[in-house]
Structure 1
Amino acid sequence: MEDIFLALLRTGLVFIMILFFFRLTGKKDIGEISVLDIVITLLIVDIAVIMIEDTNMPVMKGLAPVLLLFAIQYTFSRISLKNQKFRDVVDGRPVLIIREGKLQQENMKKQSYNLDDVLLQLRTKDVFDIREVEYALLETSGALSVYKKGDQYPFTLPFILDGAVQEEHLSILGKTSDWLKKELENRGYSHFDQVFYCGFTTEKHLYIEPKTHLEK
């Protein structure tokens, strides 16, 4: 009876820990959870199973590695907010899969993304002909973002994210960082670091949101 009580008590404790972890990672859809979040969650679950099954294990011995994982996740998330390169390593970057109705075979090969994957995701978006697609990007979550030719809503491609220039996105639309710099200067921005977000729409308009505060 005592073992059952301890198992139930530890189960409640584990539930609170996992709930706290997801609150720590911020509010995200399931499809937006990063690889880092998944890895840490799996490790926490493994530790939790051991804690629940082995009632002889001291609670603090089980909590210690969980607290370490919390610290790692928190530290990495803080670094990711400020460092684009670190974020790219941890989360990856969106990859162009279709451009102007043509499959980007090299990009597909690098991502181990085959034709069945592409066609399946296109069908879920009611697209049955690749030629209908203007651009399709494979997101870091594994979802395929599709912009069809003739869509009434403009498709915006991010050129700057938190001061970091997205060179791949510039190349998709045949633009360069020099071109972007001149466009920003014409609008009163002398440095990329002054821009929190800059997107370029298919209507050939730049949308710019400056940083609300600049780091000294």
Structure 2
Amino acid sequence: MFIVMIRTTILYALVVLTMRLMGKRQIGELEPFELVIAIMISDLASLPMQDIRIPLIHGIIPILTLLILQSIITLLELKSEKAGAILTGTPSILIKHGKIDIKELRNQRLSFNDLIEELRLSGYYNISDIEYAILETSGQLSILPKVGINPVTKEDLKINTAQEVLPVTLILDGKINIKNLKSIHQTEEWLYNQLKANNIHSPKEVFLATKDSKGKFFYQLKDK
């Protein structure tokens, strides 16, 4: 029992030291290769803890090897932008000038609902309010709002305005959402009139159409 405690203490100290040497990052901010190394280190450390028949050195050497590999990869990233792009990838622009890049969204294996959820978590409910939305290599979404969308609250300025509501998706990838139409007490005829007013002949031409939080009709056509 005493031997197990000593082995566990040594491995714990080694893993903590290794993770500290990898840099100050939260788990959600790790690059892909860093996440892989973190997972492998945890597995390598757990084996000698569970089985005292495995020599302690057989856990220590692989962990130190991974630390060296991580240091080499980090050095390569600092020395070469090309190496960094290959190892960790490059940021992806998902929204540009208030328009979703449909091709990039598909390349990143993200659904429209995933994107909208990330925007809501960042405090943005309307795509038209966003100048750029960039998916970083760590998986975090960086958002640059359009000019005029500032953090000063209406309450601070003592401006009386109507309460905004949650935006509703009416068309997604050419398909009309009848349920959402009913939820805003509108008909398909109303939706077709909205499309006609914007010179759109068919819902199949539309990638996304919503009634935003301000009650305005917002749409984006499919890429041709």
Same fold (TM over 0.5): yes
Q: Which has the higher Rg, Structure 1 or Structure 2? A: 2
User: Partners of 2:141 and 2:58 in 1: how far apart?
Assistant: 42
Residue 65 of structure 1 and its aligned partner are, at CA, apart by: 1.3
Letter in 2 for 1:127: Y
Mapping of residues 125-136 of structure 1, within 5 Å: 125-136=122-133
CA deviation profile, 1:50-101 (whole Å, cap 9, x unmatched): 1101111111122121121111111111111111111112211110000111
SS state at 2:37 partner = helix
The 2-side partners of 1:5 and 1:35 are apart by 37
TM-score normalised by the chain length of structure 2: 0.63
Q: Secondary structure at the match of 2:143?
A: strand
Residue 116 of structure 2 aligns to which amino acid in structure 1?
L
With 31-40 and 94-103 compared, the bigger mean Cα shift is at 31-40
User: Secondary structure in 1 aligned to 2:131?
Assistant: strand
CA contact (8 A) 2:105 2:111 kept: yes
Pairing 1:189-204 to 2, within 5 Å after superposition:
none
Percentage of matched positions with identical amino acids: 31
Matched, 1:50 2:38: no
Going from structure 1 to structure 2, the CA distance change for 1:86 and 1:41 (only over 3 Å counts) comes to same
Map Cα deviations across residues 178-203 of structure 1 (whole Å, 9 max, x no partner).
xxxxxxxxxxxxxxxxxxxxxxxxxx
Counterpart for residue 173 of structure 1? none
Among 76, 79, 99, the residue aligned to 2:76: 79
Q: What is the 5 A alignment of 1:20-35?
A: 20-35=17-32
TM-score, L = length of structure 1: 0.65
Give the superposed CA RMSD. Answer: 1.5
Map of 1:16 onto structure 2: 13
Unaligned runs of 5+ in 1: 154-216
Distance in structure 1 (CA, Å) of the matches to 2:10 and 2:63: 12
Counting only pairs closer than 5 Å after superposition, residues 201-212 of structure 1 correspond to structure 2 as none
Q: Which runs of 4+ in 1 moved over 3 A?
A: none
For residues 34 and 104 of structure 1, the distance between their equivalents in structure 2, rounded to whole angstroms, comes to 23
Q: Give me the whole-angstrom Cα distance separating, in 2, the residues matched to 1:22 and 1:50.
A: 18
How many residues were matched structurally?
A: 150
State the alpha-carbon separation in 2 of the partners of residues 21 and 151 from structure 1: 43
Which stretches in structure 2 are left out of the alignment for 5+ residues? 152-224
